[in-house]
Structure 1
Amino acid sequence: MTESTDSAGSAGSEDSADSGDGAPAAVAGGRERSALWRDAEFMKFWTGEGISQIGAQVTTLALPLTAVLTLDATSSEVGLVNAASYAPFLLVTLLVGVWVDRVRKRPLMIAANAGRALLVSAVPLLAVLDLLRIEFVYVAALLIGVLTVVFDVAYQSYLPTLIGKEHLVEGNSKLQGTSSLAQIGGPGLAGLLIGWATAPYALLINGGSYLVSVVSLLAIRRPEPPPAQPEQRTGLWRSVGDGIRIIWQSAHLRACALQSGLYNMCWMSLQTVFVLYAARRLDLSPGTIGLLLGTGAVGSLGGSLVARGLKRVMGLGPAILGALLLCCVAPVVIPLAPANGGIVTLALMVAAFALIGAGGTMANIHIISLRQSITPDELLGRMNAGYRFVSWGMLPLGALIGGWLGDLIGLRETLFVTAAAFLSAVLVVFLSPVWRLKDFPAQIGTSPETTAAVGS
């Protein structure tokens, strides 16, 4: 799931002062102090995005566990639930990217979270009426996925306009840190809620988190600039194609997107099978499964804290490659752990998930920043959408492959196959110019045809 966050040059490694209603500005002498911590509008955005992350983490575990525990779903059916959740990244991401480039982003985020609140709350309401069926879980997962696409593409394109590109490293590091905390608390919270209220009703509580996020986003008062109007209006399908061309014509973006797609495919295969493996082979409770995934994500928080220092010491490219090695080798520990559910098994799995989280987050911080720093503002929506189309579009494929292999060769055997496949993501970056970068390259041209001019 590798994406990342850093701005061009060394921006974000120093602090800055808030300049009223505008984005934080640097002070005299080139030094900055206390940038985004003192920016009230960013703090509102950070709060809303963070609560959304927690809600998404609860949904990610509670929805498939609803299928497993309430509807007695098979491995293939759980794979279909996860596939439906991420299919919109393949089906509608490019269209959403064109839309995001043409409108203001904050209203889209608000509407998306309001819709997610409604959908996740509908599952327990149907359960109360004894009308919940696996088919509705598929539909809910699909629609929640569509709204997640809208929110994610909009928020990544909104951030540079809110804080300025010179603060992207700091802003993205804070957002990645919040994402890590959500991964720590979200699965554990989901497991506890499921244990206390059962899986469907945990989603009702989760619906409230999205509504709190809506309130936080509504409170932002910094004006969002209108989207840039092109001199010549481009047709819809030409604009959709631009999202792919922007990435394909840049060696750096192309390699990052391909490795992300491979990594995400393997991760979703692992996640689909692991929930079943932990529940049925290891006989772990929902609360333990959630806490296991959550404590493993402590590594993500650690990765977000050291990522900037790692880049400073190693350089951008080596830091990305080293982080990927860490998170792509660790998955083999999961099926190697004894299949008895004992303390050794739990300790090894916590260590594996911690290493996966640390490496993935460090890579994400730098890859997202690389993307944002070299892409002009007017192309950010299409670039983010094209990138998500390639990278997140592989998630439903991974879910289907994991579910199919789980039924065909067994759960533990599928975990071994998936662990080996993770190394393909490392190979893509090693064979590209990305790992040789010392710092951020020059910004790409303002038209898709000139994106091959990225500096090295």
Structure 2
Amino acid sequence: MSTYSVGSANFGRFWFGQTLFGFGTRIGTLGLSVTAVGPLDANTRQVGVLAAASTVCYLVIGLPAGAWVDRMPKRRTMMWAALTRCLTILVIPVLLLTGDLRIEVLYAVAVVVGVVSVFLDVASQSYVPVLVPEEDIGAANARLEATAQVSALGGPAVAGLLMRVVSAPVVMLVDALAHLVGLLSLGVTRDGERRPAPEEGGGRRHLTADIGEGLRFVRDQPVVRRLAVSMGVSNFFATLVSTLVPVLVMRTIGFDSFVLGLVMTCGAAGGVVGALLAPRARKRFSAGAVMSCGLLMAALFTVANPLAAAVSPHGKVLAGAVLLVGEFGLTVGALLFNVTQVSLRQSLCPKHLLGRMNASVRFVVWGSMPPAALVAGWLGSAIGVVGALWVGVVGSVATVLPILAVDRVMAASSAAPRTQEPQTQEPQTQEPKAQEPKAQEPKAAR
């Protein structure tokens, strides 16, 4: 299989397309939320249902998507997903012009966009080890994460500015255009990937067998298992908080959509800082230390959301400053964690299992988001937005517990295969591989 270095023009084309996807997705996510809260005047529960509709796909098709991605050329999968998202997003401004835009339409668009996002995300994460040589995986992920954060830096701000001139549904056109251009960029990217051959014996295994293999890898690989549990809990409480942030900013405190975009932009700036700091931190500290500190930092800065509501009666400027600082610190911590964990997972997993491993982890991680969004809507109505945010703060602190012993687990599993290797014939060779100084490479995540 031919690969291209991280400094090649070919990787640059893939990198450019991924940057556009990130830019468009940030605008589209903000546009959907503001369309619901603003023009359609959705209540707290409807906002929760919309957030759940965007992520329920990971529970429904997350696992089979990984098996399908492993069976299909990953670049073509990304292209079809980008095209589908582009066409689906266009429904919103069209219906705005005809006067037929309703909250039910947003639910439907969110579901379709969520489905194609599953394929786009799983395929793109699984494509990096196919496109670049193994020694370049960490650097490739670092570049992808840094520019994803740069695009996220400008996306919400641009969306907020545009929404002062045109309505939020019209801003969704930018999302559609970004995915169209990203699709064209993928079209001129080259790789040596071949469609996986059918299993020996005359045909492919059943889909459930492929899904089971991916799930067993996540279950049996001790580091990946701990990461999946930690990320599942983290995403539950992060979704609970993020679902209510637009309501907090635009209703509880009384800012407009521009300030909401500014808060998200400040968060993306923190993401850039986190992406730049992570490789350096990784050279000086262990993987477990970097990930634990990152998650704990993100959890502690989450307190800025309910704190902003508490200080808002004393001045909106102060409340806005608290929100900006909180979002910045939260994403610095989140990126310190993510930059390490995705590349770590990629280095632990055999290439033929990448799609299923990524999909299995995302089934756990992203699958926690729909119930979290519904809980957010219910809690927001039952105990108020600020009370629900405090629940998110307390829960976020617990996310670090499953990975506190990751370094000891890695050290133990590095020694175990040496004595058991003659009896091990399954693809457990990735465990000694994961304990080599892979941890010394700058690792990054998408």
Alignment TM-score, normalising by the size of structure 2 = 0.90
Cα distance in 2 for partners of 1:429, 1:377 equals 24
1:235 counterpart (202, 206, 221): 206
Structure 1 segment 54-65 matched on structure 2, within 5 A: 54-65=23-34
State the Cα distance separating 1:437 from its structure 2 match.
4.8
Which secondary structure state, in structure 2, belongs to the residue aligned with residue 339 of structure 1? helix
State the Cα distance separating 1:23 from its structure 2 match.
2.6
State the Cα distance separating 1:105 from its structure 2 match.
0.4
Aligned to 2:280: 309
Mark the runs of 5 or more structure 2 residues left unpaired by the alignment.
436-446
Aligned to 2:253: 282
Change (3 A) 1:54 1:435: farther
In the alignment, residue 421 of structure 1 is paired with which amino acid?
G
CA contact 2:268–2:331 (8 Å) conserved in 1 = yes
2:118 counterpart (138, 149, 165): 149
| Higher deviation after alignment, 215-224 or 73-82 | 215-224
State the Cα distance separating 1:72 from its structure 2 match.
0.7
Q: Deviations over 1:124-156 (max 9, x none)?
A: 101111111111110100000000001001111
Aligned to 2:394: 420
2:368 counterpart (364, 370, 394): 394
Aligned to 1:409: 383
Structure 1 segment 315-330 matched on structure 2, within 5 A: 315-330=286-301
Cα distance in 1 for partners of 2:56, 2:166 equals 29
Cα distance in 2 for partners of 1:52, 1:447 equals 37
Are 2:191 and 1:211 aligned? Answer: no
In the alignment, residue 362 of structure 2 is paired with which amino acid?
R
Structure 1 segment 84-233 matched on structure 2, within 5 A: 84-227=53-196, 229-231=198-200, 233=204
Change (3 A) 1:104 1:440: farther
Cα distance in 2 for partners of 1:342, 1:231 equals 66
Aligned to 1:36: 6
Are 2:380 and 1:433 aligned? Answer: no
Equivalent residues, number? 424
Which secondary structure state, in structure 1, belongs to the residue aligned with residue 42 of structure 2? coil
CA contact 1:317–1:437 (8 Å) conserved in 2 = no
CA contact 2:413–2:432 (8 Å) conserved in 1 = no
State the Cα distance separating 1:435 from its structure 2 match.
6.8
| Higher deviation after alignment, 436-445 or 402-411 | 436-445
Cα distance in 2 for partners of 1:90, 1:423 equals 25
State the Cα distance separating 1:181 from its structure 2 match.
1.2
Which secondary structure state, in structure 2, belongs to the residue aligned with residue 145 of structure 1? helix
In the alignment, residue 299 of structure 1 is paired with which amino acid?
G
Q: CA RMSD in A?
A: 2.3
Aligned to 1:80: 49
In the alignment, residue 211 of structure 1 is paired with which amino acid?
L
1:299 counterpart (247, 270, 274): 270
2:319 counterpart (338, 345, 365): 345
Structure 1 segment 352-371 matched on structure 2, within 5 A: 352-371=326-345
Which secondary structure state, in structure 1, belongs to the residue aligned with residue 73 of structure 2? coil
CA contact 1:52–1:210 (8 Å) conserved in 2 = yes
State the Cα distance separating 1:393 from its structure 2 match.
0.8
Cα distance in 1 for partners of 2:414, 2:346 equals 11
Structure 1 segment 3-22 matched on structure 2, within 5 A: 22=2
Which secondary structure state, in structure 2, belongs to the residue aligned with residue 116 of structure 1? helix
State the Cα distance separating 1:179 from its structure 2 match.
1.8
Cα distance in 1 for partners of 2:432, 2:64 equals 26
CA contact 2:298–2:330 (8 Å) conserved in 1 = yes
Which secondary structure state, in structure 2, belongs to the residue aligned with residue 390 of structure 1? helix
Structure having the larger proportion of residues in helix: 2
Cα distance in 1 for partners of 2:11, 2:61 equals 28
Cα distance in 2 for partners of 1:347, 1:231 equals 61
Cα distance in 1 for partners of 2:383, 2:119 equals 37
Cα distance in 1 for partners of 2:117, 2:250 equals 27
Cα distance in 1 for partners of 2:273, 2:377 equals 31
CA contact 1:250–1:451 (8 Å) conserved in 2 = no
Q: Deviations over 1:38-70 (max 9, x none)?
A: x11110000001100111111111112111111
Change (3 A) 1:290 1:168: same
Q: Deviations over 1:211-240 (max 9, x none)?
A: 110111001133333325433532111212
Cα distance in 2 for partners of 1:441, 1:367 equals 18
2:347 counterpart (373, 382, 386): 373
Cα distance in 1 for partners of 2:62, 2:429 equals 23
CA contact 2:122–2:359 (8 Å) conserved in 1 = yes
Are 2:303 and 1:332 aligned? Answer: yes
CA contact 1:84–1:142 (8 Å) conserved in 2 = yes
Change (3 A) 1:142 1:447: farther
CA contact 2:286–2:407 (8 Å) conserved in 1 = no
Q: Deviations over 1:134-189 (max 9, x none)?
A: 11110100000000001001111111110122111100001110121122112212
In the alignment, residue 313 of structure 1 is paired with which amino acid?
R
Identity %: 33
State the Cα distance separating 1:438 from its structure 2 match.
7.5
Change (3 A) 1:454 1:211: same
| Higher deviation after alignment, 234-243 or 332-341 | 332-341
Q: Deviations over 1:314-335 (max 9, x none)?
A: 1222111111111111101221
CA contact 1:266–1:421 (8 Å) conserved in 2 = yes
Change (3 A) 1:82 1:328: same
In the alignment, residue 390 of structure 1 is paired with which amino acid?
V
Q: Deviations over 1:3-62 (max 9, x none)?
A: xxxxxxxxxxxxxxxxxx9434xxxxxxxxxx523x111100000011001111111111
Change (3 A) 1:50 1:447: farther
State the Cα distance separating 1:446 from its structure 2 match.
8.0
Which secondary structure state, in structure 2, belongs to the residue aligned with residue 421 of structure 1? helix
In the alignment, residue 46 of structure 1 is paired with which amino acid?
W
Cα distance in 2 for partners of 1:435, 1:324 equals 18
State the Cα distance separating 1:192 from its structure 2 match.
1.7
State the Cα distance separating 1:449 from its structure 2 match.
8.2
